[in-house]
Amino acid sequence: MISLITEYPLWLSVLCIALGALYAYLLYGKSMKYDGLPIWIKYAMTVSRFVVVTTLSFLLLSPLIKTIFRTVEKPVIVIAQDNSSSIGAQADSSFLKKEYREKIKTLSEQLSSKFEVKHYLFGERINESVSPDFKDKSTNLEQLFEELENRYVNRNLGAVIISSDGLYNEGENPLYETTALKCPVYTVALGDTTVRKDLILTKVNHNKTVYAGNTFPLEIIMQAKMLRGKVAKLIVEKDNKTVFEQDINIVSESFSKNIPLQLKAVGTGTLHYVVKLIPLGEEITTINNIQHVFIDIITNKQRVLILADAPHPDITALRQTIEKNENYEAEFSNISDWNKSIESFNLVVLHQLPSSNNSNQKLFAELQKSNISRLFIIGNNSNFNAVNNLQKVFNISSVRPKFNEVLPALNKDFALFNLSEDAKKSISYFSPLQVPFGSIKLSAGAAVFYHQKIGNVTTNEPLIAFNEINGIKEGVILGEGLWRWRISNYQQAQNHDAFEEIFGKIVQYLSVKTDKRLFKVNYQNTYKEGENIVLDANLYNESFEPINEPDIKINVFNEAGKSFSYQFSKNENGYYLNIPSLPVGNYRFEASTKVGEKQLKENGSFVVKQVNIEALNTTANHQLLNAIANKTGAKMVYPNQIEILEKLLSNKEDIVAVSYSEEKLQDLVNLKWVFYLLMAFLTIEWFLRKRFGGY
């Protein structure tokens, strides 16, 4: 529908018409100049002038064209098909491939005459498709509801039809997500609820990393269904050799058992263990009888040496934090008793050292010559002149025999490592540290972690700061009393998590050496079956400036020694490679490039893990499907009842088309055809006057 409106009263358009008529009359009706012309020419010029003047004056009223568009949107019916492998593994899979698909196709055609029908597949991911292959390795029903809610917000979503066995192994319980769609959710119950004979290796709990030579635990959880009286054999293999086996007597129809065992970490890199239950001939499936375990072997722990002039509660607090991390080990010694080398340590913590009582020149000379990171904790016994000479984080002068009580204030621009929100907030209730009163000057390049806060005033003076020069990392804590922070943390939160996170990050930053390799390939140790193998690489010149002009080639080798060659793509930040999913197994790679005349190489290995979570449960959960349907005012049907869905949806009175109106306003003066119309009349008038002597 189109209408015309103006910003001024519409009756003024009468004046516009009168003005156009008056102008045309005075020019052609009153003037004797055109009396000898044919009447049609005189009329043509009069009408042209009348139209032009009337239109131009009418445009001064700011006329608008109002257009109302009306659209009718059919209700959308979504048919979502479970595409997981648990569906394809069912005993009635031949029915799924033929008769069931025909039923769904017929239903879709019937619904299309009244509704807009959309088809989706769900499992690992959501795809808009009508052709399931039942190969997805997991099922996430919660993700399906979230995706439909996002896609059809403010749309006329009439109903959702979900065909599934009701089993999900990722995401939360979908029953809590159904109401967000605000439409009925009909369910088609696939699969069999009959409990079949089956051995299931449910889970293998293990550490992700283990130190070389240490023993580590495996906890194997198995189940047996309808196999009472049978004996199952559990085997653990490494490099095709059995490292553990056990017979398990199944004493009930619904049997479960936890089997703990200890293994020794022998080897380097990533260890691959195969845990399996030897199949019993009567099982419905044997896919769920095996799991692969991958464990990274760490050859060396990070070693931290804590030296002090005298025992102090700060040392205990730090030592407890360090030793809580299994990747670190801490050793404490009084400075006067230390007579060993420090070369085997990754970090040396000097508590109030050098001190006024003991300087140990030999130790500090060795420390200065080494590239070992160091952390200085300043206190009442510190020798400030000696401390200034040993580190390049700050210089303190004009020190008085006086200490301030100082609180920490986080530097928002600090970027060497990140803290959780809880750890950031924890400093608000930490007790003050005892900080020496003096003039502090930060060294160039030093990064302040915490500033000093005295009372309610945050100063620019550092409390904890770091610096790195020539690859040597240094940190300074300008105060003692850290143990009070640990106690404050426990009093407030009944744990030491915030304190341990803060000082765990400090120790980790200082102890880990900066990687100065010119060529690095970054990758994961493990990838899931079906997942793309994503790697990225960084390349630097001798000045350690990032470059990406040279090409990088990589060869990937499987366990049989077969090679696959690829080349990295270049991007803004370096190099990138996305390899399509590889079969389950162990892989190694060799990457190479050339910078100038220098050949650079990088080696590594990774594994592709088998994913069997779809096979862990073979009994359909129709109770969940029925609960979803009932909660949304819909109904659950079985595959042989699919035909009734068309009648149920057609008879539902609240699934109706929706009409939308959209209003559009447009200035008449902006329309091109108005301009061309005026130009046409002006041209006609000009031509007639020019032709018949009007000019």
What does the pLDDT look like over 629-649, one tens digit per residue?
A: 999 999 999 988 999 999 999
**For residue 317, what pLDDT is reported?**
92
Cis peptide before 354 (omega within 30 of 0): yes
Identify the pLDDT of residue 612. 66
Query: How many other CB atoms sit within 10 Å of the CB of residue 651?
Result: 8
108: CATH: 3.40.50.410
The reply to whether 428 falls in a domain is yes
E-strand spans in 177-240?
A: 185-189, 198-206, 209-211, 215-225, 231-238
Q: Is residue 659 part of a domain?
A: no
Last residue of a domain, one of 245, 266, 298: 298
Instruction: Give residue 315's pLDDT.
Output: 93
- Of residues 251 and 4, the one with the higher pLDDT is 251
Spatial contact of 529 and 606, defined as CB atoms under 8 Å apart: no
Boundary residue ending a domain (298, 322, 345): 298
Where residue 543 sits, what CATH number does that domain have? 2.60.40.1930
- Other CB atoms within 10 A of residue 76 CB: 20
pLDDT above 70 as % of the chain: 95
Element (H, E) at 118: strand 116-122
Residue type, 684: I
- Gap between the terminal Cα atoms of the chain: 45
Look at residue 151 and tell me if it is in a domain.
Answer: yes
184 shares a domain with 234: no
- Assess whether pLDDT exceeds 80 at residue 272: yes
239 & 356 share domain = no
**Same domain? 313 vs 455:** yes
* 353 and 494 assigned to the same domain: yes
Which residue type occupies 490?
Y
SS3 of 463-482: the string is EEEEEEECCEEEEEECCECH
- Asked if residue 660 belongs to a domain, the reply is no
Predicted pLDDT at 32: 58
- Name which of 433, 437, 516, 434 is nearest 473 in CA terms: 516
- pLDDT value of residue 244: 94
In a domain, 250, yes or no: yes
The amino acid occupying position 395 is: N
The structure tokens listed for 646 are 């068309």
Is 402 within 8 Å of 437 (Cβ atoms)? yes
Specify whether 183 is located in the same domain as 267.
Answer: no
> Are both 605 and 679 inside the same structural domain?
no
In a domain, 656, yes or no: no
Tell me whether residue 587 is in a domain.
Answer: yes
| Token pair for 67 | 């257009």
Q: What tens digit of pLDDT does each residue of 166-178 get?
A: 888 888 888 888 8
| Whether residues 120 and 152 fall in one domain | yes
Query: Is 124 within 8 Å of 137 (Cβ atoms)?
Result: yes
pLDDT for residue 408: 94
Kindly report, residue by residue over 55-113, the tens digit of the pLDDT: 888 888 888 887 777 777 889 999 999 988 877 666 556 677 788 888 899 999 999 98
pLDDT digit string (tens) for 528-580? 888 899 999 999 888 778 898 999 999 999 988 899 999 999 988 789 999 98
**What digits encode the pLDDT tens for the residues 340-371?**
888 889 999 999 998 877 667 888 888 888 88
Task: Output the CA–CA distances (angstroms, integers) from residue 29 to 17, 57, 242, 683, in the order listed.
Answer: 16, 21, 116, 20
Each residue of 199-234: pLDDT tens digit?
Answer: 988 889 988 878 777 788 999 999 999 999 999 999
For residue 518, give the nearest of 604, 628, 596 by alpha carbon: 596
CA atoms of 372 and 449, how far apart (whole Å):
21
Q: Which tokens sit at 70? A: 């009306």
Neighbouring CB atoms inside 10 A of 67's CB total 13
Whether 12 and 114 share a structural domain: no
Alpha helix positions (H), 60-184 = 85-88, 93-95, 101-112, 141-151
pLDDT tens readout for residues 482-502: 999 999 999 998 999 999 999
What number of other Cβ atoms are within 10 A of residue 514's Cβ? 9
Given a contact cutoff of 8 angstroms between Cβ atoms, the answer to whether 390 and 364 are in contact is yes
Vertex 256, ends 254 and 259: CA angle to 5°?
165
Residues 125 and 270 in one domain: no
Q: Is the pLDDT of residue 120 over 60?
A: yes
pLDDT at 627: 92
> Taking 70 as the threshold, does the pLDDT of residue 30 lie above it?
no
| Cα dihedral across residues 219, 223, 228, 233: positive or negative | negative
Q: Assign 276 a pLDDT band (cuts: 50, 70, 90).
A: very high
Considering the domain architecture, whether residues 45 and 134 belong to the same structural domain is answered as no
> From the centroid of its chain, how far is CA 490?
32
CATH of the domain at 412: 3.40.50.880
Among the residue ranges 82-86, 499-503, 670-674, 691-695, the one predicted with the least confidence is 691-695
Domain boundary among 252, 283, 298: 298
∠ CA 142-147-151, nearest 5°, is 155
Tokens 């769609």 appear where? 181
pLDDT at 527: 86
Number of domains into which the chain is organized? 5
List pLDDT tens digits, range 280-300: 888 887 878 888 888 878 766
Mean per-residue pLDDT, 333-343: 87
Write down the mean pLDDT value for the chain: 86
Same domain for 633 and 684, yes or no, is no
Q: What is the CATH number of the domain that holds 232?
A: 2.60.40.10
Q: Residue 34 has what pLDDT?
A: 65
Quick check: is 120 in a domain?
yes
Residue 21 belongs to domain spanning: 2-69+665-691
Cβ-Cβ contacts under 8 Å for 595 (sequence gap 6 or more) = 518, 519, 539, 541, 547, 550
358/453 same-domain check: yes
* Cβ proximity of 90 and 96 under 8 Å: yes
Please tell me whether the overall predicted TM-score, pTM, comes out greater than 0.85 for this model: no
**CA-based nearest residue to 303, from 353, 351, 343:** 343
pLDDT of residue 521: 92
